[in-house]
């Protein structure tokens, strides 16, 4: 079936929760996708920061194929070797001592919210339940994570929201200090806001946040669903800020495209999750955790973090050159590693559409911020190809 036939059928049968572009990808390799008509696309969205190793990385594909032939699923009532291996890898790479697995970023944040509340009520009483999050944050689409998210467009239509969330301006330590009350139990933040438009805080902000949390016995939760797993040139984005959280959530890129979420924490907190207090049927099943183990090993074996730093600098330099070339169209270029935002003076929707028609996949967050989250394996050749395309598009405006 060709692309237009699939699009017509999709409109008939798939709910329109996404405004879908007229693209039907059927095959992927590295930084490229091919559609149902055989046309090739350079992918600078990578499934929204999911395909960090590119499409169908041979090690991830092989791990999935092997595990699919051995054991796809079994219950979390039993011990799952690949899940245990993954938990060990994540704990060795981070501040955490224990992991909980689920199937998405929203679920990872749900788990973090539940753990923070349970720990706090046991330690300080039932009135300690409020979680402070940031304006322009994004934490997911479930009711609790919608309530946590600091964006009206995500929340409207779904009242009443879950009680117990308070939103403060991001990158403002004084606002955090002032928001803390007797009910506050935790602070949940993205190290860099992704959906919020690639918002990078000042270097000192998170050190101040950590200090405030310590002074007030608050749990610090980092939502690294989008920025974790090497995206910024470090395995976890908070490593740039020289502090650690008490809980961290991961999802998007963790299993190279297989659906997974993880909530990892220190032992002090993890002890609150006793048998029966939380769970997930599919969470951390053999298939997805085999893919995640292969993904992390590939990041380590293939020097992906150094490469990301190098390519991030290269892409940033090229985008800054575009900024100089088109000063009236581009207002700001910002980011860390291969998590880069270009703030436009105009809405970016048409640029994304034109790019698509030219075989280039871009993304726009918050209407005016072009968000560049290519596969971390991207090379100079692909960056040059993207920049050449974008330059022509901007020049024609
Ligand atoms: C994508 C995202 C989520 C939600 O993840 P899902 O897998 O879509 O539920 C949560 N937090 C952040 C920071 C994200 O970027």
The sign of the torsion formed by the CA atoms of 363, 326, 232, 245 equals negative
Does the CB atom of residue 106 touch ligand 1 within 6 A?
yes
Q: List, for residues 44-91, the tens digit of each pLDDT value.
A: 999 999 999 999 999 999 999 999 999 999 999 999 999 999 999 999
Q: Whose Cα sits closest to atom 10 in ligand 1?
A: 139
Give Cα 181 distance to the centre of its chain: 29
| Residue that finishes a domain, picked among 301, 320, 337 | 301
Burial 33-49 (b: 16+ CB within 10 A, else e): bbbbeeeebbbbbbbeb
Q: Are 140 and 109 in contact (CB under 8 A)?
A: yes
Q: What percent of the chain stands above pLDDT 90?
A: 100
**pLDDT computed for residue 162 by the predictor:** 97
Q: Whose Cα sits closest to atom 8 in ligand 1?
A: 105
Q: How many CA atoms lie within 13 A of 352 on its CB side?
A: 24
Rounded to an integer, the average pLDDT of 108-116 is 98
Where residue 18 sits, what CATH number does that domain have?
A: 3.90.1150.10
Q: Are residues 285 and 191 part of one domain?
A: yes
**pLDDT computed for residue 82 by the predictor:** 98
DSSP state of 317: H
Rounded to an integer, the average pLDDT of 190-216 is 97
Q: Are residues 64 and 47 part of one domain?
A: no
Where residue 104 sits, what CATH number does that domain have?
A: 3.40.640.10
Q: Are residues 294 and 311 part of one domain?
A: no
**pLDDT computed for residue 325 by the predictor:** 98
Name the domain count of the chain.
Answer: 2
Q: 0.85 cut: is pTM over it?
A: yes
d(CA 180, CA 106): 24
**pLDDT computed for residue 8 by the predictor:** 97
Largest CA distance in the chain: 61
Specify whether 252 is catalytic: yes
273 — pLDDT class (breaks 50, 70, 90):
very high
Q: Are residues 149 and 264 part of one domain?
A: yes
Reading the block at residue 218, the tokens are 């608050």
Q: Whose Cα sits closest to atom 11 in ligand 1?
A: 139
- Pick the closest to residue 250 from 111, 122, 125 (CA basis): 111
**pLDDT computed for residue 143 by the predictor:** 97
**pLDDT computed for residue 279 by the predictor:** 98
Q: List, for residues 6-31, the tens digit of each pLDDT value.
A: 999 999 999 999 999 999 999 999 99
Q: List, for residues 131-164, the tens digit of each pLDDT value.
A: 999 999 999 999 999 999 999 999 999 999 999 9
Q: Are residues 159 and 15 part of one domain?
A: no
The residue annotated as part of the active site, out of 223, 236, 273, 372, is 223
| Residue that finishes a domain, picked among 263, 278, 301 | 301
Does the CB atom of residue 83 touch ligand 1 within 6 A?
no
- Exposed, middle or buried by CB within 10 Å (0-12, 13-18, 19+), for 326? middle
Q: Are residues 171 and 33 part of one domain?
A: no
Q: Are residues 128 and 41 part of one domain?
A: no
- Exposed, middle or buried by CB within 10 Å (0-12, 13-18, 19+), for 12? exposed
Q: Are residues 136 and 214 part of one domain?
A: yes
Does the CB atom of residue 371 touch ligand 1 within 6 A?
no
Does the CB atom of residue 330 touch ligand 1 within 6 A?
no
Rounded to an integer, the average pLDDT of 190-202 is 97
Q: What percent of the chain stands above pLDDT 70?
A: 100
**pLDDT computed for residue 109 by the predictor:** 98
d(CA 367, CA 350): 10
**pLDDT computed for residue 211 by the predictor:** 98
**pLDDT computed for residue 293 by the predictor:** 98
Specify whether 123 is catalytic: no
Q: Are residues 281 and 231 part of one domain?
A: yes
Does the CB atom of residue 259 touch ligand 1 within 6 A?
no
Q: Are residues 132 and 36 part of one domain?
A: no
Q: List, for residues 163-187, the tens digit of each pLDDT value.
A: 999 999 999 999 999 999 999 999 9
**pLDDT computed for residue 317 by the predictor:** 98
Judged by DSSP in three states, 81 sits in helix
Q: What is the residue range of 338's domain? A: 3-56+303-396
Does the CB atom of residue 223 touch ligand 1 within 6 A?
yes
Q: List, for residues 299-348, the tens digit of each pLDDT value.
A: 999 999 999 999 999 999 999 999 999 999 999 999 999 999 999 999 99
| Residue that finishes a domain, picked among 253, 285, 301 | 301
Q: Are residues 331 and 239 part of one domain?
A: no
Specify whether 138 is catalytic: yes
d(CA 13, CA 16): 9
Q: How far is the CA of 226 from the centre of ligand 1 (A)?
A: 7
Q: List, for residues 206-239, the tens digit of each pLDDT value.
A: 999 999 999 999 999 999 999 999 999 999 999 9
Q: Are 194 and 45 in contact (CB under 8 A)?
A: no
d(CA 221, CA 185): 11
- Strands 165-168 and 339-344 turn out to be unpaired
d(CA 87, CA 22): 39
Q: Are residues 176 and 106 part of one domain?
A: yes
């Amino acid at each position: 079936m060709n692309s237009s036939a699939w699009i017509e059928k999709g409109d008939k049968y798939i709910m329109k929760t996404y405004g879908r572009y007229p693209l039907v990808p059927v095959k992927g390799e590295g930084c490229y996708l091919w559609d149902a008509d055989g046309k090739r696309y350079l992918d600078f969205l990578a499934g929204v920061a999911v395909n960090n190793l590119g499409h169908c990385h041979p090690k991830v594909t092989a791990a999935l194929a092997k595990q699919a032939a051995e054991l796809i699923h079994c219950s979390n009532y039993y011990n799952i070797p690949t899940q245990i291996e993954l938990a060990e890898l994540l704990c060795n790479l981070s501040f955490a001592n224990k992991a909980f697995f689920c199937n998405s970023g929203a679920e990872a944040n749900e788990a973090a919210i539940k753990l923070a509340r349970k720990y706090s009520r046991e330690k300080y009483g039932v009135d300690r339940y409020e979680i402070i999050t940031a304006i322009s944050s994004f934490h997911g689409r479930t009711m609790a994570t919608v309530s946590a998210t600091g964006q009206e467009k995500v929340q409207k239509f779904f009242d009443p929201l879950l009680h117990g969330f308070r939103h403060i301006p991001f990158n403002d330590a004084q606002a955090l200090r002032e928001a803390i009350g007797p009910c506050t139990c935790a602070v949940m933040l993205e190290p860099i806001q992704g959906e919020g438009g690639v918002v990078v805080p000042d270097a000192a902000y998170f050190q101040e946040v950590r200090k405030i949390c310590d002074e007030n016995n608050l749990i610090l939760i980092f939502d690294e669903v989008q920025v974790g797993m090497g995206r910024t040139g470090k395995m976890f984005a908070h490593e740039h800020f020289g502090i650690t959280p008490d809980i961290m959530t991961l999802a998007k890129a963790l299993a190279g495209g297989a659906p997974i979420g993880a909530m990892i924490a220190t032992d002090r907190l993890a002890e609150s999750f006793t048998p029966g207090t939380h769970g997930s049927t599919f969470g951390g099943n053999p298939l997805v955790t085999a893919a995640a183990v292969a993904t992390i090993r590939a990041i380590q074996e293939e020097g992906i973090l150094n490469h990301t730093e190098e390519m991030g600098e290269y892409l940033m330099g090229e985008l800054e050159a575009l900024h100089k070339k088109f000063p009236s169209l581009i207002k700001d270029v910002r980011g860390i590693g291969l998590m880069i935002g270009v703030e436009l003076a105009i809405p970016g929707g048409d640029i994304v559409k034109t790019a698509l028609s030219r075989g280039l996949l871009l993304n726009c967050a918050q209407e005016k911020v072009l968000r560049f989250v290519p596969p971390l394996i991207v090379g100079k050749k692909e960056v040059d190809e993207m920049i050449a395309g974008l330059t022509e598009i901007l020049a024609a405006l």
